[in-house]
């Protein structure tokens, strides 16, 4: 088997410790084609995380039988090439819900409190309590809108329960009423959600129908002074339109973990003081990663032995 993402030795050691003793594991040493294919030489299974797996890579490995995403989103894996070559594709549905939900709360609070700016100025020796009072906001008493209420969105809703907020949501598949009641959430249509939310947090997959969902027109319909948080996929948001809204003050602040181009480049967002930006690290906690590898190994063994794998994990 091959691991296609480039990991430091402690992470490699963790992966090795979770694999069956008989498995031979090759780790990629870089993301260029040559080193990706070197890791894949002779492999029948590939574990992939955040880097893309292109069609030409899939087609170049005749023995490849399974690509397993160590996460939930499979938008960076060429599914057409998988079908063409008969390569199975699996993921870990909801496997990183807890760390991503925690990071979402982190970004909501950090954006409201302008944490990067406060931190930088404090380190520089400034003491500016009254000026900070003007730019900081509290979460209590606000309406939080969750755009998408799958495993991660629901985990966020549970963690918001103690913050004295109203939680509203929109999802293409509305939840049963008893689940809404248990989570303490209220359903709204998309336009009402945008107009109502003081904080809008995105938790949708990147699909043809969701790409650019929060474009310039929809950003203009956001409640004035809203905060936008995205721990889902960068392609959901028009970054230039969001930057314009942040500059004008129509959007108060943004906390973003994902971007249209990663690593982050050619984006206006890093220039803005009212942003909190992290490098697609919401799900990247070592304690959760071991569980992700365990599930990927279990799914791989099940597919090899003709047994079913959990609902939602098998994509192709």
pLDDT digits (tens, 9 = 90+) for 249-302: 999 999 999 999 999 988 999 999 999 999 999 999 988 999 999 999 999 999
**In the predicted structure, residue 146 carries a pLDDT above the cut 90:** yes
pLDDT digits (tens, 9 = 90+) for 28-59: 999 999 999 999 999 999 999 988 999 999 99
DSSP-based three-state secondary structure for 272: coil
Q: Are residues 110 and 201 in the same domain?
A: yes
Torsion of CA 169, 230, 291, 293, to 10 degrees: 130
State the average pLDDT over residues 218-232.
98
Say whether 103 is catalytic: no
Q: Are residues 57 and 85 in the same domain?
A: yes
Q: Are residues 156 and 118 in the same domain?
A: yes
pLDDT at 290: 94
pLDDT at 179: 98
Q: Are residues 114 and 234 in the same domain?
A: yes
Q: Are residues 89 and 139 in the same domain?
A: no
State the average pLDDT over residues 191-203.
98
Of these residues, 262, 271, 304, 307, which one is catalytic?
262
Q: Are residues 155 and 109 in the same domain?
A: yes
Q: Are residues 25 and 149 in the same domain?
A: no
pLDDT at 57: 97
Say whether 170 is catalytic: no
**In the predicted structure, residue 138 carries a pLDDT above the cut 90:** yes
Q: Are residues 139 and 246 in the same domain?
A: yes
Beta strands across the sheet bearing 66-69:
26-27, 2-3, 45-48, 66-69, 88-90
315 assigned to some structural domain: no
State the average pLDDT over residues 93-101.
95
Hunting for tokens 């020796």 — which residue is that? 125
Reference 263, options 280, 249, 246, 275; nearest CA is 280
Say whether 88 is catalytic: no
State the average pLDDT over residues 61-89.
96
Read off the CATH number of the domain in which 25 is found: 3.40.50.720
**In the predicted structure, residue 18 carries a pLDDT above the cut 90:** yes
Q: Are residues 237 and 198 in the same domain?
A: yes
Q: Are residues 191 and 55 in the same domain?
A: no
Share of the chain above pLDDT 70, in %: 100
Q: Are residues 170 and 288 in the same domain?
A: no
**In the predicted structure, residue 311 carries a pLDDT above the cut 90:** no
pLDDT at 98: 96
The mean predicted confidence, pLDDT, of the chain is 96
Cα separation, 250 vs 241, in Å, equals 11
Q: Are residues 60 and 116 in the same domain?
A: no
Long-range CB contacts (within 8 A, 24+) of 67-71: 68/296, 68/299, 68/300, 70/5, 70/289, 70/292, 70/293, 70/296, 71/95, 71/96, 71/283, 71/292
Domain residue limits at 11: 2-95+284-304
Of these residues, 233, 247, 265, 304, which one is catalytic?
233
Q: Based on the structure, what is the number of domains in the chain?
A: 2
């Amino acid at each position: 088997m091959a691991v296609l993402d480039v990991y430091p030795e402690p992470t490699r050691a963790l992966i090795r410790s979770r694999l069956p003793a008989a498995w031979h594991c090759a780790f990629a040493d870089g993301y260029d084609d040559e080193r990706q294919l070197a890791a894949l030489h002779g492999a029948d299974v590939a574990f992939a995380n955040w880097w893309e797996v292109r069609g030409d890579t899939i087609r170049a490995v005749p023995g490849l039988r399974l690509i397993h995403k160590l996460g939930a989103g499979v938008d960076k894996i060429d599914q057409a090439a998988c079908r063409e070559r008969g390569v199975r594709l699996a993921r870990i549905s909801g496997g990183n819900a807890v760390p991503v939900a925690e990071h979402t709360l982190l970004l909501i609070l950090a954006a409201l409190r302008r944490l990067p700016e406060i931190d930088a100025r404090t380190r520089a020796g400034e003491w500016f309590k009254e000026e900070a009072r003007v730019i900081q906001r509290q979460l209590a008493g606000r309406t939080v809108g969750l755009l998408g209420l799958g495993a991660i969105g629901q985990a966020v809703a549970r963690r918001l329960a103690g913050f004295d907020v109203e939680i509203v949501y929109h999802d293409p598949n509305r939840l049963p009423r008893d689940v809404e009641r248990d989570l303490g959430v209220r359903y709204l249509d998309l336009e009402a959600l945008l107009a109502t939310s003081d904080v809008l947090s995105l938790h949708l997959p990147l699909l043809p129908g969701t790409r650019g969902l929060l474009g310039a027109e929809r950003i203009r319909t956001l409640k004035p002074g809203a905060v936008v948080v995205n721990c889902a996929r960068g392609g959901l948001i028009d970054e230039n339109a969001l930057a314009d809204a942040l500059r004008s003050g129509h959007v108060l602040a943004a906390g973003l973990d994902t971007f249209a181009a990663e690593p982050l480049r050619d984006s206006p967002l890093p220039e803005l003081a009212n942003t909190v930006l992290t490098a697609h690290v919401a799900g990247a906690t070592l304690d959760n990663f071991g569980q992700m590898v365990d599930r990927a190994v279990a799914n791989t063994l099940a597919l090899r032995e003709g047994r079913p794998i959990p609902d939602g994990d098998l994509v192709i």
